[in-house]
Amino acid sequence: MNLNLFLFILFAVLTAISSFMVITSLNAVHSVLFLILVFCNTSALLLLLGSEFLSLMLIIVYVGAIAVLFLFVVMMLNVKINPLKISNYSIIPIGFLIFSILFNILSSSMRELDLVNSQYDNIDLISWVSETNYVNNIETIGNVLYTNYCALFLICGIILLVAMVGVIVLTMHQRRDVKKQKIEIQLCRVPSNVVKFVNLRI
């Protein structure tokens, strides 16, 4: 078996298992962690197919931003497990409907791909690993982003930074109805004023 085919099958199986664990895990944090694993495996599949820009963008955008945001939101909300037990048999028709729709879309795309491949049978596929001396699409897009659209790229970074600071400020609210220890007042106490003697009449 070819190494590329073995890695493709391995990452595809790991993606399927992780996707199944996302929808079956009772803990929301575990579901988000399995979702991050799905994104990583999908990025590896895209890297094997030769689209390295989409692979790295999937890691940066989904794993680095959206999935981590989901994880922080779930941990901040402290979602509890629903005590109501829902029967798994009640969601089988909905699952079968969604599976049939996705299967029809996938089968139609595979048929179109077979038609395209039949027209170009004489084309030899070149592995992207062997093309180290050529300029890839990541270098091309990076040159365009950091030259022609440098100002817009920096403005987007500043907007994301302001949004991150705003979220931190909104979540760090001080509650005044909760009694807290004040260490500076406790350290300034005088031992003679702590104990008070009272004369009791018998």
- Token digits of residue 131: 């093309």
Q: pLDDT value at position 115? A: 67
pLDDT score at 78: 62
Q: Work out how many domains the chain is built from and give that number.
A: 2
CATH number at residue 28: 1.20.120.1200
**pLDDT in single tens digits along all 202 residues of the chain:** 677 788 888 888 899 899 888 888 877 778 888 888 898 898 888 888 877 788 888 888 887 777 777 767 766 666 665 555 666 677 778 878 988 998 888 888 777 767 666 665 555 555 655 666 667 677 777 888 888 888 888 898 888 788 778 767 776 666 666 677 777 777 777 777 777 777 777 6
Please tell me the pTM assigned to this model: 0.56
Q: Does one domain contain both 2 and 92?
A: yes
116 plus 166 within the same structural domain: no
Kindly state whether residues 128 and 32 are assigned to the same domain: yes
Whether 198 is covered by a domain: the verdict is: no
Burial 74-89 (b: 16+ CB within 10 A, else e): beeeeeeeeeeeeeee
Q: What's the pLDDT score for residue 59?
A: 84
On whether both 120 and 145 belong to a single domain, the answer is: no
192 part of a folded domain: no
Q: What is the pLDDT of residue 124?
A: 56
What pLDDT, on the 0 to 100 scale, is given for residue 139?
78
Residue 32 belongs to a domain: yes
pLDDT at 31: 83
Same domain? 140 vs 129? no
Asked whether residue 197 is domain-assigned, the answer is no
Say yes or no: 24 and 71 in one domain: yes
Q: Do residues 30 and 89 both lie within one domain?
A: yes
Q: What digits encode the pLDDT tens for the residues 60-103?
A: 888 777 777 776 776 666 666 555 566 667 777 887 898 899 88
Q: Decide if 14 contacts 37 (C-beta within 8 A).
A: yes
Q: Are residues 70 and 148 in the same domain?
A: no
Range of the structural domain that residue 44 is part of: 1-134
Q: Are residues 99 and 23 in the same domain?
A: yes
